[in-house]
Amino acid sequence: MKNIAVAGTGYVGLSTGTCFADMGNKVTCIDINEEKIDMLRQGKVPIFEPGLSEMIVRNVKAGRLHFTTSYVEALADAEYIFICVGTPSGVDGEADLQYVRMAAQSVAQNMTKPIIVVNKSTVPVGTGDWVADIIKRSQPQPMAFDVVSCPEFTREGSALTDFMNPDRVVLGSKNPEAAEKVAQLHLALRTRIIITDLRTAEMIKYASNAFLATKISFINEIAAICEKLGADVQEVAVGMGYDKRIGPAFLNAGLGYGGSCFPKDVKALEHMALVHGSHPSLLRAVIDINRDARRWALLTLRELLGGRLTDRRIGVLGLAFKPNTDDLRESPALDICRMLQNEGALVTGYDPVAMAGAARMNSDLHLAEDPYDLAEGADALVVCTEWNEFKQLDLARIKNSMLQPVVVDGRNLYEPDKMHELGFQYRAVGRGAKYTNGH
């Protein structure tokens, strides 16, 4: 059993700390937000992540998982501290490292014995060296430590599964012995462990996310072409995905990527490239295409509703950026809500878990009790999040509830032929061949 401290109790910090505790380690999670720590001590989880609440309760009861606002308490016996704080986008797209700086300073000021500092937050290339400098400058007296980069590759909505069954663990450090010690923590996961230098490990994270975002933007650009040429992007994606060099993952055309990782990481990589004299033309195109994917919903609604959206009642199915999470950061749904409101539309939203957060972020957004309430008297529905419950809706009931049976499906959740048979005016992303066959 190892003693581990985890700084930050967001998606990454909570899943990291809880999973390490579940593997038999003693873990103390630190956060400067007293309200959040109080909630966690009471067994309440401030985020929605399937299975997380149950795992936290189990490990707290077993005495392996603790929560505190005190670095003194957390670092008293810690052999490792994982920094898992947020790195939001700055004004120019750069990663804002203020929380990383605060965590590094707190570690330096409160450590009482040698420790390994593990950067789990997504940070710009070179941050490991920067963190080491901060700790050296902030220590009351010199004390040995090492910095290891261990980027996270978990997805919201499946964070626990991804942590426990990773494709690989990437570690980078100037001290190979420190990296080997962090590798020992992950041996039970029985996966590939890649050990490299600090900067390469940091770059692997950014390059991975940028590539996945590129696949999403690529298929959305193909979808736009399919609509013009009468092809079906879903069948195109299947045909592409059988090629082992391409693979089927992240080839789902829709409203683009959102959340806490892809948007800020692509922008941060573009910013790093610019300030160091490179020309990130592909990354810029990825960002532009992703923005245009949201506009598709607005333009399609204008077309189907006669050009004007003023006073039209529009229902938005799904508000979180993806299913199985309540995260609204960079949510395509919220962007679409704002665009519709700017056009004078009367917008109502529904989401299984994210409505409270949506109300805080958009006070003008009306909320429905369920999808059927959302459809009542609506001029159109926009599908923005592919929650499983939306796949099981009584579509005939939905149609009969609507003022106009217009559905704009931003996640290709339904089959065009069936929607047309039911009498909907239906548009999906990049499914041109189905429109032709359906009319």
Edge to edge, the sheet with strand 145-149 lists 65-68, 26-30, 3-7, 80-83, 115-119, 145-149, 168-173, 192-196
Active site residue 19: no
Q: Which residues face 269 on adjacent strands? A: none
Distance CA 110, CA 139 (A): 8
DSSP 47: S
Catalytic residue among 29, 261, 337, 384: 261
Judge contact between 337 and 365, C-beta under 8 A. yes
Residues 6+ apart with CB under 8 A from 88: 95, 96, 264
Residues 6+ apart with CB under 8 A from 343: 298, 302, 309, 310
Length of the chain measured in residues: 439
E-strand stretches of 219-378? 313-317, 346-350, 366-367
Task: Give the DSSP H or E segment for 115.
Answer: strand 115-119
Active site residues: 261
